[in-house]
Amino acid sequence: MNVLIVYAHPEPRSFNGALKDKATDVLSAAGHEVTVSDLYAMGFDPVTGPDDFIGERADPEFLSIPREQTRAIETETLAPNIVAEQEKLAAADLLILQFPVWWFGMPAIMKGWADRVFARGFAYLPGRKYDTGMFKGKLALVSATTGTSADTYAPDGIDGDILSVFWPIHNGLLRYSGFDVLPPFVAYMPSRMGGDGRNAQLDAYAKRLGEIETTPRLFFHPTEDYGPNERLKPGVLARSGVQRNV
């Protein structure tokens, strides 16, 4: 299996760095090919804009990112640093996003990586999303750390259910583009753990990585559960993430 780890933390000695290293070691030892995109070390530019396109623009007078992405994919004129990441992603059977939860989401550098790499024409098109997504058959895993406790991210916690917090990533990025999504691995408050606690978390992560093939995927409603207005049909009980029956 080819694995791509996209890693976003500015400090190599962070616990995110330790989780990235653990995944690299465990998966490599199991015979998988592992590639790491260390976004801070790469100096990856997270800002999408006109420099993403090196060929003739579809519309030189007005910048529509989706329109220009589609044309650039068709004409092979995306910026080389985007193409390099797309090639890694296209080759991957498993994508791991490794990051600290900052302001209830990914760090800006990783969000920008998604903005630029998950380009229209490469990651999605009309009629090619969710069940028919362009990355259908690939697996994805979010591995993250938090600054607050598991209790705060419980369904009745002050920060909200962790699966709801990750819904924009799980559904809006990964499932939207066709991935099957594994339950996240979350290390809560590693900065407040002692060495034994951190080692226990690393061991737990190694165990999770060894069980990827048998771990049930997160549930997302299939296309047939939705009506022509893309809302759940009457009588279908909402079971995914933040969805609810009204």
Delimit the domains of the chain by residue range.
Answer: 2-225
pLDDT at 241: 80
pLDDT at 74: 96
Q: Kindly report, residue by residue over 171-198, the tens digit of the pLDDT.
A: 999 999 999 999 999 999 887 877 888 8
Residue 75 has pLDDT above 80, yes or no: yes
pLDDT above 70: percentage of residues in the chain: 100
pLDDT at 196: 82
Q: What is the mean pLDDT of the chain?
A: 95
What's the CA gap between 207 and 53, in Å, rounded? 42
pTM higher than the cut 0.85? yes
User: H or E segment at 221?
Assistant: none
Confidence at 45, pLDDT banded by 50, 70, 90: very high
Q: Which ranges in 30-120 belong to alpha helices (H)?
A: 39-42, 65-75, 80-91, 108-117
Mean pLDDT of 198-216: 94
Mean pLDDT of 47-61: 95
More confident residue, 194 or 106: 106
**180-197 burial code (b ≥16 CB/10 A, e <16):** bbbbbbbbbebeeeeeee
Return the closest-CA partner of residue 99 out of 168, 21, 8, 187: 8
Label the pairing between strands 139-146 and 94-100: parallel
Mean pLDDT of 217-244: 94
pLDDT at 160: 92
What's the CA gap between 129 and 206, in Å, rounded? 31
- Give φ, ψ of 193 to 5 degrees: -90, 150
Confidence at 240, pLDDT banded by 50, 70, 90: confident
pLDDT at 105: 96
Residue 58 has pLDDT above 90, yes or no: yes
Q: Kindly report, residue by residue over 107-150, the tens digit of the pLDDT.
A: 999 999 999 999 999 999 999 999 999 999 999 999 999 999 99
Residue 36 has pLDDT above 90, yes or no: yes
User: CATH assignment of 2-225, given 3.40.50.360, 3.40.630.30, 3.30.70.2520, 3.40.50.10490?
Assistant: 3.40.50.360
pLDDT at 62: 97
pLDDT at 2: 98
Structure token digits, residue 171: 């559904």
Mean pLDDT of 24-42: 97
